[in-house]
Structure 1
């Protein structure tokens, strides 16, 4: 290759086309392009729900109308918000504990084959045990406070964090590790500069799964024994055949999961702008 080709910017190298950074209008257009299909599907689901309720194809005590559910959400907003905050707090605390403990466990497992061989089967066993089956034990051991709910959220969210982090740490190019060792980097420097950044895309994939599972874990704990939280609201509404309140609780619970998922997505976009999946500009080959 000639000296001029080496010094030329990517856009001037033969076979390479540099894409320009998108404008604000292009970003908005891209966002609308990505969001209109799920929005249309959601509207279609609500339309089917409304038709079923309006045509009385199902008894109202089984499937309430969207209007009745909306009336509950607006008329009892304070009541629902109080219990929503409890579930959100349990979910966030359980998720954060799962992230800290899971990342630490993954690092130890990657750097110690003995620990990995010992701990991995136990993690797998703990994952396959139904949490709803052992939740009553946590209530007996820890009482009816928030501790059992947080513990269940941790147990459910822990496994995706560990597995994704272990996969990310092991997915580092061996040549990069050899290069760092050749250049005299310490194990800590290799971890901070190479292993950890390379594992972040895998970790965030696990975090997006874990944060939604943490909501389920908190609600499962509230099903077993609680006097507050959305799980308690849903359980009481089910016992009283108050289906508008039950549907309202389910909708709010779903919104919590979606909101937390979006927050993790935003954090991933801010922390990993260099990753291919987050790159808005790039190089396109034209060979």
Structure 2
């Protein structure tokens, strides 16, 4: 399964969360100067965008100014957006919990039983390479416009991402440590729980993070396919009625959600796999 992971080119000693992306390595020791620089760039971009849009008198229905977008969060419409955002979070959490759980179990099974890996690998490849959004209309046709097709789509999108990264982590454990444990009479279960899981934790967390992000994208895409509720449906409604401030307010909420997902798993990686750095 190593060739299937998104991080297969990483060396054994740095295959975890801290080396999964260039952003991660730069987030750990931020000083005051870096934080000030980040805030200064944000002010420059937002302020510059506000000035240019107003200077050239760009119509609001084409691209609203940042202040106009910010005003949405103080308007009554934010109540409606918040309700639909709650529907999206429910779909994401439910589908992700199912997909990630199955993915972790499958990763453990195929690590211990190579025959099982040979049997299910073609199907896992099929799930990884197939855009789950393409299956949403079929799922809606079979399960209706409720939560069910969206939760299934999120589970199918997140599960394989969790599985391939976790399986890679389980396989990258130093063979010398396993041989030493066997020489002391450790069982297969003890080796897996005491050696493989702790050593694979950085890659497991990377898989969980990627699965969560893919799940959020799939949830929003599924909502845009139909159903009438969820922040994805709000995006469709606002874009079709040229309500661009509300549209970009939804985009901003989704962007912050993605950052929150990343920050959570970065924090989790520091707690559970801080030894790697």
Q: TM-score, normalised by structure 1?
A: 0.81
Aligned to 1:221: 222
Residues 31 and 160 from structure 1, CA distance in 2 versus in 1: closer, same or farther, beyond 3 angstroms? farther
Residues 137 and 39 from structure 1, CA distance in 2 versus in 1: closer, same or farther, beyond 3 angstroms? farther
Q: 2:223–2:230: 8 Å Cα contact kept in structure 1?
A: yes
Task: Number of aligned residue pairs: give it.
Answer: 250
Larger deviation: 246-255 or 113-122? 113-122
| CA shift digits 1:18-57 (9 cap, x unpaired) | xxxxxxxxxx984535544444443333234313321236
| CA shift digits 1:66-94 (9 cap, x unpaired) | 12111112202211111111111211222
Q: Distance in 1 between matches of 2:91 and 2:268?
A: 20
| CA shift digits 1:98-145 (9 cap, x unpaired) | 221111011111111121122122111122222222110111111111
Aligned to 1:54: 54
Q: Distance in 1 between matches of 2:42 and 2:190?
A: 48
Q: 2:101–2:159: 8 Å Cα contact kept in structure 1?
A: no
Instruction: Tell which structure's C-alpha radius of gyration is larger.
Output: 1
Q: Distance in 1 between matches of 2:155 and 2:37?
A: 33
Match status 1:74 vs 2:74? yes
| CA shift digits 1:218-241 (9 cap, x unpaired) | 101101122211101101001111
Q: 1:168–1:202: 8 Å Cα contact kept in structure 2?
A: yes
The root-mean-square deviation of aligned C-alpha atoms, in Å, is: 2.0
- Which structure 2 residue ranges, 5 or more long, are not aligned? 1-27
Aligned to 1:134: 135
Q: 1:149–1:220: 8 Å Cα contact kept in structure 2?
A: no
Aligned to 1:63, the other structure's residue is in SS state coil
- Which structure 1 residue ranges, 5 or more long, are not aligned? 1-27, 277-287
Q: Distance in 2 between matches of 1:126 and 1:40?
A: 42
Match status 1:106 vs 2:107? yes
| CA shift digits 1:184-218 (9 cap, x unpaired) | 01111111100110110111112222222211111
Larger deviation: 163-172 or 90-99? 90-99
Residues 236 and 266 from structure 1, CA distance in 2 versus in 1: closer, same or farther, beyond 3 angstroms? same
Q: 2:60–2:245: 8 Å Cα contact kept in structure 1?
A: no
Q: TM-score, normalised by structure 2?
A: 0.84
Q: Distance in 2 between matches of 1:160 and 1:120?
A: 13
Aligned to 2:205: 204
Residues 70 and 100 from structure 1, CA distance in 2 versus in 1: closer, same or farther, beyond 3 angstroms? same
